[in-house]
Structure 1
Amino acid sequence: MAAAQVLKSEWTKIKSVQSTVWTLGLAVLFTVGLGFLISLLAKDQFAKMNARERLFADPTFTSFAGTSLGQLAMIVFGVLVVGNEYSTGMIRTSLAAVPRRGTFLAAKLVVAGLLAFVVALVTSFVTFFVGQAALGPYKASIGDPGVLRAVIGCALYMTLIAVFAMGVTMILRSPMLSLGILMPIFFLLAPILGGVEATRKIGQYLPDQAGTKIMQVVAPEDNTAPYGPWGGLGIMVVWVVVALVCGWLVLKRRDA
């Protein structure tokens, strides 16, 4: 099967499954809605800050607070894109049509990754402008140093979350098992390790803890990470690459 046909096939699979489309819609809703609400509540907090506290205030990062919930939907999207093939048995048909498993995986990653990035990019810009409107006089401008990088970085972060979930699901070959592992990692393990002083040095190298640095314009006062925004994103990319390579090896060596 020609590459164009493989890409078209993967696009057809994604758009024909309503649950995958809905998860992207929920990612937008959660990220924008929660970001607006938290920015609105933070407006009074910004007004009460003293001079020192305002040095570490980051209105841009505040507007991206909704990504903590939006990434949940992106994880589910990544899991479903891969996991639906295994849960329905469609993986056998797919691999029969595309025997070259590397081509099959690459096409799935390209189509799902590009779709996730387009949705995430639109979401990040909308989230930023909506959040800054809620902050009123304490808002940041898209032209301020580091702001555009943070906005685009938010889209990159959300996309990488989805792709990482795809890699993990390719390894585990089960949507339920994948969600059962990814959810505790991102919503229990990472916050606990990152929030406890004794384990913070370990937690800061987890994919989400490192990746969210790209969305920060101002480093927090208690920042101890030995890397900057791009370094944090680089650490997350390493996690994603490892997951994808392992997923490809499992796909290559095991029967459908």
Structure 2
Amino acid sequence: MKHPPAGTLRRALAAEWTKFRTDATHARLLLGLVVLTAAVGAATAATTTCPAPGCGVDAPRTALTGVLVGQVVAVVLGVLTAGNEYRTGMVRTTLAAVPSRSAVLTAKAVVLSAAVLAAGALAVAGSLLAARLLLPGNGFTPAHGYPALSLADGPTLRAATGSVLYLLLVALLGLGAVTATRSSAAATGAVLGLLFVLPAVTAVVGDPDWQRHLQQFAPMPAGLAVQATLDTARLPIAPWPGLGVLALWTAAALTLGRTALHARDA
């Protein structure tokens, strides 16, 4: 499939950016993503203790617990980036103005990515800052084997960077799902079910080998492995390959959405 001409893509980007920034719902969701992620991370850090050396708590992962909540907002934002146009019928106007459907979907993905990367970076930075201030009072001290959280620490930097990318990928997963289904409700339900129900099913599987394989395949457990900084060798899947599994799910959703967009009328 041919890539859209550069001029067409520029026009599509300008149009999608205008639509995105003038929709107050998008701004509220981005703010909610930042606030909820940082607030839940701070609350978790405030209530987690390390009473003795070797308590075994993964401090960076604890600080980034809010990503579990923030991902819901990211999914909704990704879905609404295209879902609102299907609901109102504005997608016909969009495709009349920019006939290249590949350019439209690419532009939506680029604008969404820029917004979520910025919000995700703020959310993760706020979570780590809150944990840096709160955790020492709960026993996470150098005497217990926990220096202050810092992005200068390689595993912490990987957990932080990976968390931002995780939020980006689940938002794009939502965009791909709604482009394929043309229904915000169906896309939101499908993506959240994939993220949350599949791990619940995995948890009730009795066979340890099957459970491990399912954890390697499920997008949320695999993707969030990137946050782990302790005992990574014992994880069902290594941190970066785990995020790669989520990236494959996202790529599949976007490919399905692009195919559906080309195969049918608006």
Report the TM-score when normalising by structure 1.
0.90
**Partners in 2 of 1:13 and 1:157 — Cα distance?**
25
**Partners in 1 of 2:222 and 2:204 — Cα distance?**
13
**Partners in 2 of 1:219 and 1:81 — Cα distance?**
38
Q: Residue 178 in 1 paired to residue 187 in 2?
A: yes
Is contact 2:225–2:235 with CA below 8 Å preserved after alignment? no
**Partners in 2 of 1:60 and 1:195 — Cα distance?**
28
1:69 aligned partner: 69
Q: Residue 189 in 1 paired to residue 198 in 2?
A: yes
2:98 aligned partner: 98
**Partners in 2 of 1:91 and 1:190 — Cα distance?**
34
Letter of the 2:180 counterpart: I
Inter-CA distance 154–141: structure 2 relative to 1 (3 Å threshold)? same
Q: Residue 117 in 1 paired to residue 105 in 2?
A: no
1:127 aligned partner: 127
Q: Residue 237 in 1 paired to residue 242 in 2?
A: no
Alignment of 1:22-101 (within 5 A): 22-42=28-48, 44=49, 46-47=50-51, 49=52, 51=54, 53-54=55-56, 57-101=57-101
**Partners in 1 of 2:107 and 2:169 — Cα distance?**
16
Uncovered stretches (5+) of structure 2, i.e. residues with no partner: 1-6, 141-147
Letter of the 2:195 counterpart: F
Letter of the 1:94 counterpart: T
**Partners in 1 of 2:113 and 2:25 — Cα distance?**
17
How far 1:214 moved relative to its partner? 1.1
> Number of matched residues?
248
Question: What is the identity percentage for the equivalent residue pairs of Structure 1 and Structure 2?
Answer: 29
1:218 aligned counterpart, secondary structure: coil
Is contact 2:13–2:111 with CA below 8 Å preserved after alignment? yes
Q: Residue 3 in 1 paired to residue 13 in 2?
A: no
Letter of the 2:261 counterpart: L
Equivalent in 161, 166, 169 of residue 170 of structure 2: 161
1:204 aligned counterpart, secondary structure: helix
**Partners in 2 of 1:214 and 1:147 — Cα distance?**
10
Report the TM-score when normalising by structure 2.
0.87
2:222 aligned partner: 210
Deviations 1:43-75, CA, capped at 9 Å, x for gaps: x3x12x563x43xx2100000111111111001
Letter of the 1:144 counterpart: D
**Partners in 2 of 1:120 and 1:141 — Cα distance?**
17
Aligned-CA RMSD value? 1.8
Deviations 1:57-107, CA, capped at 9 Å, x for gaps: 210000011111111100100010010110010110001111111111111
**Partners in 1 of 2:190 and 2:86 — Cα distance?**
17
How far 1:196 moved relative to its partner? 4.5
**Partners in 1 of 2:75 and 2:220 — Cα distance?**
12
Is contact 1:59–1:132 with CA below 8 Å preserved after alignment? no
Q: Residue 18 in 1 paired to residue 24 in 2?
A: yes
**Partners in 1 of 2:204 and 2:174 — Cα distance?**
23
How far 1:141 moved relative to its partner? 2.6
Is contact 2:42–2:130 with CA below 8 Å preserved after alignment? yes
Q: Which moved more, 1:99-108 or 1:196-205?
A: 196-205
Deviations 1:113-133, CA, capped at 9 Å, x for gaps: 111111111211221121221
Letter of the 2:262 counterpart: K
2:4 aligned partner: none
